[in-house]
Copies of this chain bind each other. A is one copy, B any other.
């Protein structure tokens, strides 16, 4: 299959300079504010976005290289299949976070509940629409009694590039 080349459209700025101690999901980053700085050339594309309370950020896990197909996630002690986890070291190191949008100034979006490293390359922004993006879920697998623990579990160095 043909490879795909992407060019970042901006940068995400957050208080997190290091993987260790970071929140592991937006739900573990309640109140954390960040700035999404979109390249000036694309500012026009942000029109109308401030009508949405939440947006989807798609970005590069830029400090993650390589991957293992079986990993021990932050929230579990059992090894799990990589694609059943949100671990950052993946064949294509693409991350996604749903964050609250609190304001826009030109090419800058102000967000809250952000769980990514400072300087993260931004690939895309989409409006979060519950009718599209929030189905009625009946099972969350190994996360069943763990997904709510992001408020007390922080990242460690296990997904640092070796």
Contacts and interface: CB of A to CB of B under 8 A. Distances in A.
A123 interface: yes
A9 B92 contact: yes
Interface residues of A, number: 71
In this complex, the member of A51, A85, A100, A127 whose beta carbon has the largest number of chain B beta carbons within 10 angstroms is: A127
Q: How many copies does the complex hold?
A: 2
A51 to B, nearest CB: 3
Given A86-B127, A130-B134, A148-B131, A48 B142 contact: yes
Contacts of A139: 51-53
A103 B48 CA distance: 38
Given A133-B134, A138-B53, A92 B127 contact: no
Interface in A100-148: 100, 113, 121, 123-135, 137-144, 147-148
Given A3-B7, A4-B60, A84-B46, A25 B91 contact: no
A19 interface: no
A49 B46 CA distance: 35
A25 B128 CA distance: 12
B11 A1 contact: yes
